[in-house]
Chain A
Amino acid sequence: KQEVTQIPAALSVPEGENLVLNCSFTDSAIYNLQWFRQDPGKGLTSLLLIQSSQREQTSGRLNASLDKSSGRSTLYIAASQPGDSATYLCAVISPSNTGKLIFGQGTTLQVKP
């Protein structure tokens, strides 16, 4: 059974710092991995999708990497801003034919001005 873990659970950094969020999964047979952002009480906003054949994806100040063999992904946020404060979730598509996502518990990020 696929399980997804994210560490740390919470992170507080001063504005301007570069930071890394970690995601690990137990079954390396994934189709893809997706990172989401969730603001308090709100829905899920897709940030980046990495296909299983890819090593990384970039969008603006965000860079996500994927190492399938070790069951790990990282989300790198450059030059963090207070507006980046949110919970970041990673999710994998498990090897089934329905495309469901299996989520980690998230990392709650606070960027202090």
Chain B
Amino acid sequence: EPEVTQTPSHQVTQMGQEVILRCVPISNHLYFYWYRQILGQKVEFLVSFYNNEISEKSEIFDDQFSVERPDGSNFTLKIRSTKLEDSAMYFCAPRGSDGYNEQFFGPGTRLTVL
């Protein structure tokens, strides 16, 4: 299984603060996805990113969220002004050039908003 790392593993922040979650995929990943899982709930799709632009986003992914791949390596998810309800596990899921084959997930970042 291709190794994907996410940093930090756990982030605690105050409501209204900005957070940046990072994902470091391996070099042949072309498609990037962020998912989140609120405690006890389903894993939900947030956004997909291909060729340096968003290809699809869910209704959860509002103006408070943004994604980028600033250095061609790390893939980041930024939440501009965190809310209590943003507390969740955030998973990065990169995919290679083959679009629809097996999806692997990073270990996740646990975000706690106080």
Chains A and B form a bound pair: yes
Q: Is the CB of A103 within 8 A of B42?
A: yes
Chain A residues within an 8 Å CB radius of B106:
43
Q: Once the chains are docked, how many angstroms separate the CA of A96 from the CA of B99?
A: 11
Chain B nearest CB, measured from A103 CB (Å): 4
B contact residues, total (Cβ < 8 Å): 28
Give the residues from 63 to 113 in chain A that come closer than 8 angstroms, CB to CB, to chain B. 89, 91, 93, 96-106
Q: Is the CB of A46 within 8 A of B103?
A: yes
Q: Is the CB of A42 within 8 A of B43?
A: no
Chain B residues within an 8 Å CB radius of A97:
55
Partner of A49, one of B43, B55, B101: B101
Pick out which of these stretches binds chain A: B13-21, B44-52, B76-84: B44-52
Q: Once the chains are docked, how many angstroms separate the CA of A99 from the CA of B91?
A: 15
A24 within 8 A of B: no
For A31, the closest partner residue in chain B by CB is: B100
A contact residues, total (Cβ < 8 Å): 24
Q: Once the chains are docked, how many angstroms separate the CA of A100 from the CA of B55?
A: 10
B71 within 8 A of A: no
Chain A nearest CB, measured from B40 CB (Å): 9
- Which of the listed residues A34, A36, A100 has the most CB atoms from chain B within 10 Å of its own CB? A100
Sample (29) of A-B pairs whose CB atoms are under 8 Å apart: A32-B100, A32-B101, A34-B103, A36-B105, A41-B110, A43-B91, A43-B106, A43-B107, A44-B43, A46-B1, A46-B102, A46-B104, A49-B101, A91-B103, A93-B100, A96-B56, A98-B31, A98-B56, A99-B95, A99-B99, A100-B33, A100-B45, A100-B56, A101-B35, A101-B45, A101-B103, A103-B44, A104-B42, A106-B42
